[in-house]
């Protein structure tokens, strides 16, 4: 395969699907299998088949996990399991291939303005999408959703030599959501409404 494709320096595993599908005893097996298949098995397969193209000269692997792989969401056990698996799979890759100068890191985004968010919640122009975004602004210390460009800059950093001693990490990019254990006084504080767009 290397004769055909040559050296690979960077692999960014960024495919993913999500679905809120009920409590675990009601969760459809086919939905669970699809999410695990795309989010976790897909990451495994791409990594497995690209590693031989990186082993001579080293490289950087970046896997998209989620803050949902670090803590649980109601009715999304498939996604939680898949993204938690991506994080630990990333660690496995880091320790197994570090001596070949291959680094592996995961990024764990929070809620980012993407077509997937539009599909799951509604767009910023309809009522359900606006309500979702208002809730995210409230629960996020920075008071807004993230942008694809912000995530892209993190990926570019991890792909570059500027991150040459970083491996086996899951870097959260979520506007501060994972920094607290529960919203506490935020529950009754609506001052954020006056300080966010």
Catalytic residue at 97?
no
Angle between helices 77-97 and 42-50 (to 10 degrees): 20
Evaluate whether 47 touches 61 at the Cβ level (below 8 Å).
yes
Q: Which residue among the candidates 27, 79, 97, 180 is catalytic per the annotation?
A: 79
Q: Smallest Cα–Cα separation from 156: which of 101, 105, 117, 96? A: 105
Runs of H (alpha helix) within 22-146: 29-35, 42-50, 77-97, 115-121, 127-139
Name residues whose C-beta falls within 8 Å of residue 16's C-beta, 6 or more positions apart in sequence: 38, 39, 64, 66, 82, 83, 116
Neighbour tally for 101: CB within 10 Å: 15
Which residues sit opposite 61 in a β-bridge? Answer: 11, 104
Report the alpha-carbon distance of residue 15 to residue 44 in Å, rounded. Answer: 12
In 3D space, the residue among 16, 63, 38, 81 whose CA is nearest the CA of residue 171 turns out to be 63
Positions annotated as catalytic residues are: 79
């Amino acid at each position: 395969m290397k004769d055909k494709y040559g050296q690979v320096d960077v692999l960014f595993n960024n495919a993913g699907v999500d679905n809120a599908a009920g409590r675990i005893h009601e969760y459809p097996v086919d939905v669970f299998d699809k999410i695990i298949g795309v989010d976790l098995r897909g990451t495994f397969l791409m990594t497995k088949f690209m590693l031989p193209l990186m082993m001579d000269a080293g490289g950087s692997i970046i896997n998209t996990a989620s803050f949902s792989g670090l803590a649980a969401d109601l009715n999304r056990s498939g996604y939680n399991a898949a993204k938690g698996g991506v994080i630990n799979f990333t660690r496995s890759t880091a320790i197994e291939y570090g001596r070949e100068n291959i680094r592996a890191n995961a990024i764990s985004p929070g809620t980012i303005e993407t077509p997937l968010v539009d599909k799951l919640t509604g767009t910023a122009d309809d009522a359900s999408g606006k309500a979702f975004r208002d809730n995210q602004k409230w629960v996020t210390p920075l008071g807004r959703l993230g942008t694809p460009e912000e995530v892209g800059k993190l990926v570019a950093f991890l792909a570059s030599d500027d991150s040459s001693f970083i491996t086996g990490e899951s870097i959260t990019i979520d506007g501060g959501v994972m920094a607290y254990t529960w919203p506490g006084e935020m529950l009754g504080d609506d001052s954020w409404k006056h300080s966010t767009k």
